[in-house]
Amino acid sequence: MRSHKFLYSREGFRSRKVDIGKATRKVPDTKVGCKAMMKICKKNIDNWIVTRFERDHNQVFVSPSKVRCLRSHQAVSECKRSIIDTFHNAGISTKKIMNVFRVEFGGDCNLGLMDRDYRNELKKLKKKSLDDNAQFLLNYLKRMQSENPSFFYANDITDNVHLANIFWVDARSRNAYQCFGDVVIFDTTYKTNRFKMPFALFTGINHHTNSTLFGCALLGDETESSFVWLLAMHGKHPITIITDQDKAMQGAIASVFPNVVHRFCKWHILKKVNEKLGSICAKHPTSVREFLNCIWTKTIEEFESS
């Protein structure tokens, strides 16, 4: 580099395209053709000289309280980044972190950054934390598999970079699935607190009528493609699968298990009774008990009679 030019933030003009016949909103001018500038050139290896300097501006300067809004003044220092990282790891919300900085620096005008800059920094930290935790999880599962060859895990990578879904099952659960996997309960109502990733469980009932675990998974989302990938991990198809009333889950089951008997979980249905039948329950107090008596019938004849 032999020369460099420093310009004011309002140098030049902003070109705009206006569509005739369409509603447009008025946007304030941020470029007013200010000619204030300074140009420096390299004289030799160690020295630079000012070759041109325009002092005069053609507009009012930004007030000190709004200087932080200029892009040139927006940067997260290492000290602030360290504090944000510490608060983030402690589980403090973004809003509370911003309030701490306001108290520490004496108001918004002294923060040196906009709210969105802090939020962008938090997004970077969350993404880095997610990547670090994902690699830690993969290393752990690899070690478990090396210690026990019957331990199985599979992961789904998006764009050859990010971990999207991961499924794992130990030897005991694999054996339980072979013995008691005719009826499978598939539940994704659990969420991890930090990353909001659905935690999927495959469970069933053993010969002692106790719940037994068939496998676990962490999903990047609850789309049909994620469910298809997860369900395809099972070698043995169940006879019956019980889930909640998720549309994406229904499509995935129909695609992977076309011959399975798919039923909705009774607990999820009863949980929505007050929400869906609230007005009826208010008018007829006995309706809930009658409805439950109908649900708990064991035969088709009893159900129709109820």
> What is the distance of C-alpha 268 from the center of its chain?
24
Tokens 């752990």 belong to residue: 140
Rounded Cα gap, residues 153 and 169, in angstroms:
6
pLDDT digits (tens, 9 = 90+) for 109-133: 666 666 677 777 777 776 766 667 7
Tell me the C-alpha to C-alpha distance, in Å, between residue 291 and each of 100, 212, 245, 281, 298.
Answer: 52, 30, 19, 10, 14
Dihedral of alpha carbons 181, 184, 186, 187, sign:
negative
Q: Which amino acid is at 52?
A: R
Quickly name the fold that domain 149-266 has: Nucleotidyltransferase; domain 5 (3.30.420)
| Domain boundaries along the sequence of the chain | 1-61, 64-147, 149-266, 272-306
Other C-beta atoms within 10 Å of 173: how many? 22
281: Cα within 13 Å, side-chain hemisphere? 11
pLDDT at 52: 93
Rounded Cα gap, residues 62 and 23, in angstroms:
31
Q: Which residues of the chain fall below pLDDT 50?
A: none
Rounded Cα gap, residues 90 and 86, in angstroms:
6
**CA nearest to 170, candidates 150, 141, 147, 185:** 150
pLDDT at 16: 62
* DSSP secondary structure letter of residue 18: -
Asked if residues 153 and 167 have their Cβ atoms less than 8 Å apart, the reply is yes
Q: In what order do the strands lie in the sheet with 152-158?
A: 152-158, 162-169, 211-218, 198-205, 183-191, 240-243, 261-264
